[in-house]
Amino acid sequence: QPTVVVGPMLARKDATHAVVSFETDVPVAAAVGVAGRAPVVSEGVSARHEILLKNLEAEGTYRYSVAVSNGAGVSSTPPRTFRWLPIESPLTLAIMSDSRAGSGPGLSSHNGVNVDILGRLVTGAYRQGAQLMLFPGDLIDGYTTSTDVFQSQLTTWLQAVEGVGGVVPILTGMGNHEALLNAWTDGMEADKTGDASSEAVFARRMVNPRNGPPPEIPGAPTYDESVYSLDVAGVHLVML
């Protein structure tokens, strides 16, 4: 049977729309079922999905699950319940950063991520009533020439937060450690460019607002989903 291997994660598109994102081990057709509503079906077959939930009411409570099928089998995630964001204050925010690997044993240093502390932080924020979480950079160790390693570390980060991220939106940004580099034997290093840049790879894995500025010059990295702003409950948030 096909399996959801990353997510589901809940993201805010605007005041009345959410995005449920997830990844599977094989390309699948997918649907998000919300209690009391018709299922929202994916537009095609893929291993990565971003499915839009429309017409959400401020502070409304919704119960949902994800179902995936490759034609030979069907599987679904356990149901999750979230309370949608308010339109007016107050708003409870949690802001944290620097979850890259620590120096200790075990899950404190797992594939470029301090999974132990990261899990405690987002769980603690959830228990304290956080309605929205911001993580503005240094999610992972990064500083690698390998796109596969960079992707794998982002996967580890997403899997570490998905238990909470499936019910509370987590906005992410890039720090200096989210770096994909070209390196030469003489010791010179430079950021990868275009679709291979760390910004482009980050945007393909994260779901954030898409209102950032265009590239500064041809060939420069995109700022799509890495630099953005949004208004939530009377608060203007900017991720740089």
Token code pair at residue 115: 């999974």
Task: Give the pLDDT of the chain (240 residues) as one tens digit per residue.
Answer: 899 999 999 999 999 999 999 999 999 999 999 999 999 999 899 999 999 999 999 999 999 999 999 988 899 999 999 999 998 889 999 999 999 998 888 899 999 999 999 999 999 999 999 999 999 999 999 999 999 999 999 999 999 999 999 999 999 999 999 999 999 999 899 999 888 999 999 999 999 999 999 888 887 888 999 999 999 998 999 999
Beta bridge partners of 100: 113
Cα–Cα distance measured from residue 201 to residue 224, given in angstroms and rounded to the nearest whole number = 11
Neighbours of 44 (CB within 10 A): 9
> Side-chain half-sphere of 149: how many Cα atoms within 13 Å?
15
Question: What local confidence, expressed as pLDDT, does residue 85 receive?
Answer: 92
Mean model confidence pLDDT for the chain: 94
Residue pair 226/200 in contact (Cβ under 8 Å)? The answer is no
d(CA 162, CA 7): 5
